[in-house]
Amino acid sequence: MASKQPSKLSGFVYSNHGWKYSAITRYTLFVLLGILFYVSLSPDLLPKRYDIKENTYSAKEITAPMKIPDNKATLKAQEEAAEQVQPKYKIIPTRSENLVTSLLDRIDRLNQDDSISQSDKTGIYREEIPQRARDFLLNFVSSSRSTNAYSEHLLDEMQSKIKEQTYVIPEETFIKIPRLTSQDIIEMKPVAREIVIRLMNDQISDAQTARAKVAELVSVSSLTQRTAREVVQELTRLVITSNKFYDEDATKEAEVQARENTPQVFIEQGEVMVKKGELITPELYKFLDENKLLRNEVNYLPQLGLLLLVAMLTFGLLTFIRYSGTSGFKYNNSQLLMLVLVFAITIVSMRLAAYLQTDARPYIGFLAPVAIGSMLVAMLLDISLAYFCSILFAILASIILNVQQNTIFDFTFGFFVLIVSYVAIFATHRAGQRSTLLKGGIMVSLFGALTVFILSLLNGGVWKEVDTLYALGFSFAGGLITAVLVIGLMPFFETTFGILSALKLVELSNPNHPLLRKLLTETPGTYHHSVMVGNLSEAAAEAIGADGLLCRVGSYYHDIGKTKRPFYFIENQNDMENPHDSIEPKLSKSIIVAHARDGVEMLKEYKLPKPIRDIAEQHHGTTFLHYFYHKALRLAEDKGCEPDFTEEDFRYPGPKAQSKESAVVGIADSVEAAVRSLRKPTVSQIETMIEKIIKSRLDDHQFDECDLTIKELDTVSRTLKETVMGIFHSRIEYPEDMRKPKKEEGAVKE
């Protein structure tokens, strides 16, 4: 019997019996999980490279593996932006009103000099007035250069333009100027200054346009003398020049700014870069080479980095499973295969969301039901494993759902997945009804939306208001999708892998189940016994960290085989003779031990999970039927013949308990039957009886094939004692000093 026992080493069950305990299969599954990690992460971490030649036609369509800068398109966009820049002009105030004042002052002084003839004055004016105008401009330019008030290009442009638009005073005006008196000039000054100021306040690109307005302004002025009006008109036209000049430097600077402000043009991820059959021109070949999309030179560093990352993730999971020491996860290959499938489903859901993601809509990633893996692991396998897997899911999501080009991991999605996964585990790991999964999904939705809102605030409103609302909506919908998928996948995993989840156990504990209804109606005594065993075994199992719910439900079905011959079992014999009194002990033994085998067959017929069947088959182990053995000995002695049987013929066929749950149910079964046989049990009787039952089974090697420890057996003994006294409180006789009320005890002490 001992050779059938699978031994444990570092958390794994080792056995040569079947693929479920094969070491080769186990490590093959971990290799498969590593391959899954590699395939799922390679599109994000490994750059695609193509083996193409210059001046050939592409055999395949090449799409951008990531967001790639398009320098050619960017340069074109920059030039277009520069071309759209309007020429920049600069207004340069030359204070031409001062020039016209100085000209009139010079005329006043020269006209008052009687030593100079009229004709000489005319000649002086013909030479001096244009020259003063030129000198005024030269002096302005020179002073501007010395003070760096304007750029060289702008001053050159000013000189050139004013020179081109120089006004030539008619000859007759020079003849009329000497006729002006001082009084005339006094009247002319304010009029001339006002006209110049008024016209030069406007932006003048063409001086001729402004000069055309002078005649009208002079005609409406206060001047009445014809000569004065004509001279003011001509002098004003002379001093009026352009004041708006093309600024080459400012225009170039604006073009530079336009180029710099032009955003970089990108080829979006997934966008077609090269069509199938397109000619690979030298320019296109260079572009592909610059973006490292050609297989010109071998670079194994990214592959090595990804392999090391995959090895780290896989080895971390392997190490956790080996050394976590959890009791709820039995570590057989069937469960490891289920774990691989859970990872595959979770990764596929992330990939689908990533396929819909774009740089403009990164929030679509929150729609992925990322908590589905943690929820399934928590309910189907083990809660501590679920917490560890949540960390792996967060790492995978931060890579797969990352839309940032400058980082490998996106903290936003990693943190989001970690929070919703932990919430999912907390909300559903003890789920006893399918509706609890929906409630858990709502919890995931609420906490997911809250996490997104917090991240948005911490990022300083990195998303727009509308984008934030979309992110909140997608995260909320992702939680509901998670609940729907888990509800749909749970029956698949339970049926395919024979997993007995808490949900399934609660369903099996329903009294309306056909077998439990049969047990109640046909064998009410056995039914009551099974319920009591369920209460005892559940308390004991939870005390040692075993599956208490499995013990309780398994206890309900452990004696279902008694329904085939109900009256051969004492709990169903009400006011009737015991049929065993009239039959051979060997036949009685066969009937008694058959109930375990019959129960397994009935449970198989109704397709109950294997852990329930195991409890029904193993709860008696290979225990010895003392009563019928000794009865057979007495009969043989009475007949005066040697016994043709041994003790082994009066044992249950087994197998012995293979799990803690089967062992605990077997102990609770014996304890309940023993307590029920006592008329007025006392505390000391119960303690002695429980210790005797456990010691008897321990001495009989009934626990050799399960992993119960001596310490755990002590805990089981103590818990059963407390539970029995709680259940049978009214029947147990306590010592006198224990039965005295507290008030009376206090009086005695006093």
Judge whether 683 and 570 are in contact, CB under 8 Å: no
Which range (245-254, 493-502, 564-573, 715-724) has the least confidence? 493-502
* pLDDT of 554 strictly over 70: yes
CB atoms within 10 A of CB 640: 6
* pLDDT of 721 strictly over 70: yes
State whether 552 and 459 are in the same domain. no
Q: Which residues, in sequence order, are CB contacts of 94 under 8 Å at separation 6+?
A: 136, 137, 140, 200, 241, 243
Query: Containing domain of residue 534, as a range?
Result: 509-739
Which range (94-98, 324-328, 368-372, 464-468) has the least confidence? 324-328
Report pLDDT digits (tens) over 677-702.
Answer: 877 778 888 889 999 999 999 999 99
pTM (2 d.p.): 0.59
Euclidean distance between CA atoms 381 and 367, whole angstroms: 26
Which range (144-153, 460-469, 499-508, 667-676) has the least confidence? 460-469
State whether 331 and 411 are in the same domain. yes
pLDDT at 615: 93
State whether 104 and 29 are in the same domain. no
Query: Residue 305 in 3-state DSSP?
Result: helix
Q: Among 221, 246, 271, identify where a domain stops.
A: 246
State whether 27 and 110 are in the same domain. no
Euclidean distance between CA atoms 514 and 409, whole angstroms: 54
Q: Which residues, in sequence order, are CB contacts of 110 under 8 Å at separation 6+?
A: 116, 121, 124, 125, 178
Q: If you average pLDDT over residues 199-207, what whole number do you get? A: 88
State whether 347 and 218 are in the same domain. no
- Strand pairing of 68-69 and 7-9? unpaired
Q: If you average pLDDT over residues 616-628, what whole number do you get? A: 89
State whether 162 and 17 are in the same domain. no
- For residue 603, being part of any structural domain is answered with yes
Partners of 9 in the β-ladder: 12
Got the DSSP string for 491-521?
HHHHHHH----HHHHHHHT-TTSHHHHHHHH
Query: Residue 269 in 3-state DSSP?
Result: coil
Q: Total structural domains in the chain? A: 3
* pLDDT of 748 strictly over 60: no
Euclidean distance between CA atoms 140 and 245, whole angstroms: 15
- For residue 135, being part of any structural domain is answered with yes
Q: Among 439, 473, 503, identify where a domain stops.
A: 503
State whether 351 and 229 are in the same domain. no
Structural element, H or E, at residue 90: strand 89-91
Instruction: Name the nearest CA neighbour of 555 among 712, 437, 723, 714.
Output: 723
Q: How far is CA 623 from CA 589, 689, 703, in A?
A: 12, 17, 11
- For residue 292, being part of any structural domain is answered with no
Euclidean distance between CA atoms 502 and 494, whole angstroms: 11
Q: ω before 655 within 30° of 0 (cis)?
A: yes
- Find the CATH number of the domain harbouring 345: 1.10.1760.20
- For residue 473, being part of any structural domain is answered with yes
- Find the CATH number of the domain harbouring 682: 1.10.3210.10
State whether 520 and 493 are in the same domain. no
- For residue 549, being part of any structural domain is answered with yes
* pLDDT of 50 strictly over 90: no
Report pLDDT digits (tens) over 142-186.
Answer: 888 888 888 888 888 888 888 888 889 999 988 888 988 889 899
pLDDT at 327: 42
- For residue 253, being part of any structural domain is answered with no
Q: Which residues, in sequence order, are CB contacts of 32 under 8 Å at separation 6+?
A: 340
State whether 544 and 494 are in the same domain. no
State whether 444 and 588 are in the same domain. no
Q: Among 201, 216, 246, identify where a domain stops.
A: 246
| Residue matched to tokens 């006893």 | 432
Rank 154-163, 299-308, 434-443 by mean pLDDT and report only the highest. Answer: 154-163
- For residue 287, being part of any structural domain is answered with no
State whether 549 and 448 are in the same domain. no
* pLDDT of 342 strictly over 90: yes
Euclidean distance between CA atoms 580 and 568, whole angstroms: 7
- For residue 330, being part of any structural domain is answered with yes
State whether 682 and 590 are in the same domain. yes
Instruction: Name the nearest CA neighbour of 336 among 687, 745, 748, 26.
Output: 26
Q: What one-letter code names the amino acid at 145?
A: R
Compute the mean pLDDT over every residue in the chain, rounded to the nearest whole number.
82
Euclidean distance between CA atoms 585 and 457, whole angstroms: 80
